[in-house]
Amino acid sequence: MSTAVRSHAKINLGLHIGAPRADGYHALATVYQTLELHDVVTVKARRTTATSVSLTSNDSRVPTDARNTAWKMVMLALAALDLSAEVEIHIEKRLPVQGGLGAGSANAVAALVGLEAELGISVRGWITRRLAVAAEVGSDVPLFLVGGTVLGLDRGQQVYPLSDIEPVWCVVATPAIGVSTPQAFRDWDALCAEERLTAEASTVKLNELSRAYASAFSGAVPGVGWEQAPPVSSRTKRTWPDP
C-alpha cells in the first residue's frame, strides 16, 4: 500500500527582494500562484521502532539522500511528532529541475501529505507546527500547504491566502540551463553591495508592496486587520492526495 500525491509547481506573479539581512536571509514581498503542472510523489510508510528513509527518482539529477527536500521534510516531521517510521519515497519528475517553479519545495510538501496519509496522522492536530516545520525546510515550502494565490512575506515563509484568480492558461518557458537559487541570491548580494542597498532601506518599500499586493488580490484595506491576522493560514485551502 502506498500514497501518491500531486506535487504542483508555482510561479511568482510579483517578486521584490530586499538587501541581505544580518541573519543572512532576504526580506521579500511576493505573490505565489500554484499551477496545474506537477510531479508525482509516492510515499510508502509504516511505524517502526527506528526511523529509516529511502528515496528514488526517475531523474538522475534529483538527490536521493539527506540533501533532498522531501527527505528533510519527512525527517523533521517525524521528529516533531515524536514518531519513528520506515519511509520509502519515489519522485516522478515531470517539472524541470532548477526551473524556478518551486518543484523541490513542492516535493517536500507532497512527501509530508503522503506520510500523514500512510501513518494516519491528523492534520488538524498539528497544523501550526507543520507550517513551522515546512519553513525549516525552505522559505517557499509553506506556500504549498496553502495553495492557490498566496501572499508571501518576511523571507517568503509567512504566507497569507489571497482570493484565487480565475483559471487562466499560462505559458511557462524554461531554459535548457538550470538556475541555482543560492547562486542567484549570491549574485544579488554582490549587486546590493555594489549599489550600497541596505536591508533597512528595503523595508519601507517592501511594506508598501505587501499592502499593494494584498489590496490588489483580495480587496482588503491596506494596513487594516494585519495585526490581528496570524502569519500562516489556520487551514489548508488545497490538498492534492491523488496523482
Q: Which three cell numbers stand for residue 170?
A: 499560462
Across residues 202-224, what is the average pLDDT? 65
pTM: 0.81
Q: Give the pLDDT of residue 41.
A: 98
Catalytic member of 10, 39, 72, 93: 10
Distance separating alpha carbons of residues 48 and 28, to the nearest angstrom: 41
pLDDT above 80: residue 231? no
pLDDT in the model for residue 220? 42
Can you give the pLDDT at residue 207? 77
Percent of the chain with pLDDT over 90: 55
The reply to whether 205 belongs to the active site is no
Catalytic residue among 39, 72, 93, 140: 140
- Number of helices (H) and strands (E) in the chain: give both, helices first: 6, 6
Highest mean pLDDT among 58-72, 91-105, 158-172, 190-204: 58-72
Q: Looking at residues 9-24, what average pLDDT do you find?
A: 88
CB-based contact 7:38 (threshold 8 Å)? yes
* Cross-strand bridge partners of residue 56: 90
The tens digit of pLDDT for each residue in 100-143 reads: 899 999 999 999 999 999 999 999 889 889 999 999 999 999 99
3-state SS assignment for residue 106: helix
pLDDT over 70, % of the chain: 87
Is residue 23 part of the annotated active site? The answer reads no
Give the pLDDT band of residue 241 (cuts 50, 70, 90).
very low
Q: How confident is the prediction for the chain on average, in pLDDT?
A: 86
**Confidence category of residue 218, pLDDT binned at 50, 70, 90:** low
pLDDT score recorded for residue 180? 77
| Average pLDDT value for residue range 62-82 | 97
**For residue 19, is pLDDT > 90?**
no
Give the pLDDT score at 17.
Answer: 87
Helix (H/G/I), strand (E/B), else coil: 61: coil
Q: Write down the pLDDT at residue 222.
A: 41
Q: Which residues pair with 130 in a beta bridge?
A: none
Chain-centre distance for alpha carbon 196? 30
Instruction: Examine the pLDDT at 236 and tell me if it is beyond 60.
Output: no
* pLDDT of res. 117: 97
